[in-house]
């Protein structure tokens, strides 16, 4: 275990943020600091880069403590918890660390099972050993497949997973809910994210897809920047108003804020376990996203229409009422704001490379 930054002035409300150097984790670190928590990042940089810490430092004007640890390594996690507990209380754990590439998970399922499920089991065991009760888990709308009704609420059943990645999220939700039944101290939120996009408005942190991006927005911004071939819209013959697939895009800062709200809610609970959808609550088609990007940024997106991508659901968006009722949280940022921030991030990246 290697503590990369030694940060001595520790406050009491520490929050362990696994995967905190990643896309959603780094934005959540910013929001945690804003809310008075002390985030402690645990990340092995398997899908991120240590320079994320520089971006965080520019935004926050201070250093964040980081442990370069693999979350599947229970004994290293134990060391992290012991080290934090020497300095104060651990208010909770947010577990982002996982592999997330749907296509890769089909080619390398074992890597996904062992990392995503193994890290969750190791973390729950370590929390139990140290009596830490508040747990916020990164789940995904992928667990719903193509739901019978949209907007989809949390009572919709899990459909057979389309990919090993999706299966790991279903399995982790099951693992966590079984641990919750067995461990009286556990209070849990299973946060089911829809499609996170955008970046911090400073352009100092954002999504850093390594290699060929699979998700729509990183591909769109790189194609618009001339770094890739034109974007291929995967199919325009779906039964949707313009024929392209519909998704619920949520600004990553809104998503990050929801984690703070979840932690605050958990501290007042007595043995709760709740699944919550986190989405904007409305759907946008691929063509609507392209149009919104063009009007937000005054630039045209090069694209062609191609065949459907296997495994894509036609349309999904969230009923996010439960998160509003329970956490008092809702989205504040529009699709256009998110797309402006995505483009700003892409432009800053180009300058750095």
Binding site for ligand WQD (CB under 6 A): 100, 102, 140, 142, 195, 214-216, 219, 231-234, 245, 247, 286, 309, 312
Coil, strand or helix: which one is 183? coil
127 with 134: CB under 8 angstroms? no
**Rounded to 5 degrees, what are φ and ψ at 225?**
-80, -5
231 binds, among ligand WQD, ligand NAD, none (CB under 5 to 8 A by kind): ligand WQD
44 binds, among ligand NAD, ligand WQD, none (CB under 5 to 8 A by kind): ligand NAD
Show contacts with ligand NAD in window 194-223 (CB under 6 A): 196
Token pair recorded at residue 329:
């949280």
Interface residue with ligand NAD among 38, 70, 254, 319 (CB under 6 A) is 70
Q: How many other CB atoms are there within 10 angstroms of residue 83's CB atom?
A: 14
| 165 in catalytic set | yes
Coil, strand or helix: which one is 215? coil
Task: Name which of 98, 96, 192 is nearest 147 in CA terms.
Answer: 192
Token pair recorded at residue 216:
């729509």
C-alpha to C-alpha distance for 145 and 197, rounded to whole angstroms? 20
Interaction pattern, residues 157-196, with ligand NAD; x per rule: CB under 6 A = ------------------------------------x--x
Of the pair 212, 271, the CB lying nearest ligand WQD is at: 212
Interface residue with ligand NAD among 13, 14, 105, 115 (CB under 6 A) is 115
Token pair recorded at residue 144:
């719903």
Long-range contacts, 107-110 (Cβ 8 Å, 24+): 109/164
Task: Name which of 173, 218, 170 is nearest 23 in CA terms.
Answer: 218
Coil, strand or helix: which one is 273? strand
Of the pair 169, 180, the CB lying nearest ligand NAD is at: 169
Coil, strand or helix: which one is 190? strand
Show contacts with ligand NAD in window 253-292 (CB under 6 A): none
Catalytic residue among 165, 193, 249, 317: 165
Show contacts with ligand NAD in window 132-151 (CB under 6 A): 138, 140
316 with 283: CB under 8 angstroms? yes
Q: How far is the CB of 109 from ligand WQD (least distance, A)?
A: 15
Binding residues for ligand NAD, total number by CB under 6 A: 26
Interface with ligand NAD by CB under 6 A: which range of 5-13, 95-103, 182-190, 345-353?
Answer: 95-103
Which residue in this structure is represented by tokens 């919550």?
Answer: 276
| 38-42 and 134-140 beta bridge pairing | unpaired
| Beta strands, E only, 24-116 | 38-42, 65-68, 90-95
25 binds, among ligand NAD, ligand WQD, none (CB under 5 to 8 A by kind): ligand NAD
269 binds, among ligand NAD, ligand WQD, none (CB under 5 to 8 A by kind): none
Q: State the catalytic residues.
A: 165
Chain contacts with ligand NAD (rule: CB under 6 A): 18-19, 21-25, 43-48, 70-72, 96-98, 100, 115, 119, 138, 140, 193, 196
């Amino acid at each position: 275990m290697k503590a990369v930054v030694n940060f001595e002035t520790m406050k009491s409300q520490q929050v362990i943020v696994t995967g905190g150097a990643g896309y959603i984790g780094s934005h959540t670190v910013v929001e945690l600091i804003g809310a008075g928590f002390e985030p402690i990042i645990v990340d092995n940089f398997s899908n991120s880069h240590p320079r994320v810490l520089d971006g965080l430092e520019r935004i926050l004007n201070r250093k964040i403590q980081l442990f370069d640890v693999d979350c599947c390594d229970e004994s290293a996690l134990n060391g992290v918890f012991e080290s934090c507990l020497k300095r104060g209380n651990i208010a909770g754990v947010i577990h982002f660390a996982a592999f997330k590439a749907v296509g890769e998970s089909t080619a390398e399922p074992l890597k996904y099972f062992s990392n995503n499920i193994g890290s969750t089991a190791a973390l729950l065991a370590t929390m139990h050993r140290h009596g830490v009760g508040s747990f916020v888990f990164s789940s995904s709308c992928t667990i719903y497949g193509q739901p019978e009704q949209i907007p989809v609420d949390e009572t919709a059943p899990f459909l057979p997973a389309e990919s090993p990645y999706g299966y790991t999220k279903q399995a982790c939700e099951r693992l966590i809910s079984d641990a919750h039944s067995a461990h009286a101290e556990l209070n849990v939120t299973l946060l089911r994210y829809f499609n996170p996009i955008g970046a911090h408005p400073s352009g100092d942190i954002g999504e850093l897809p390594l290699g060929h991006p699979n998700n729509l927005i990183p591909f769109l911004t790189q194609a618009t920047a001339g770094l890739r071939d034109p974007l291929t819209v995967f199919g325009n013959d779906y039964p949707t108003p313009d024929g392209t697939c519909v998704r619920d895009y949520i600004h990553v800062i809104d998503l990050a804020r929801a984690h703070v709200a979840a932690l605050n809610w958990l501290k007042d609970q007595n043995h709760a376990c709740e699944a919550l959808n986190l989405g904007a609550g409305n759907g946008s088609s691929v063509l609507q996203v392209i149009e919104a990007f063009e009007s937000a940024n005054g630039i045209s997106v090069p694209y062609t229409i191609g065949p459907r991508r296997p495994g894509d659901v036609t349309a999904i968006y969230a009923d996010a009422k439960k998160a509003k009722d329970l956490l008092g949280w809702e989205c504040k940022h529009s699709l256009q704001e998110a797309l402006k921030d995505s483009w700003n991030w892409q432009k800053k990246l180009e300058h750095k490379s």
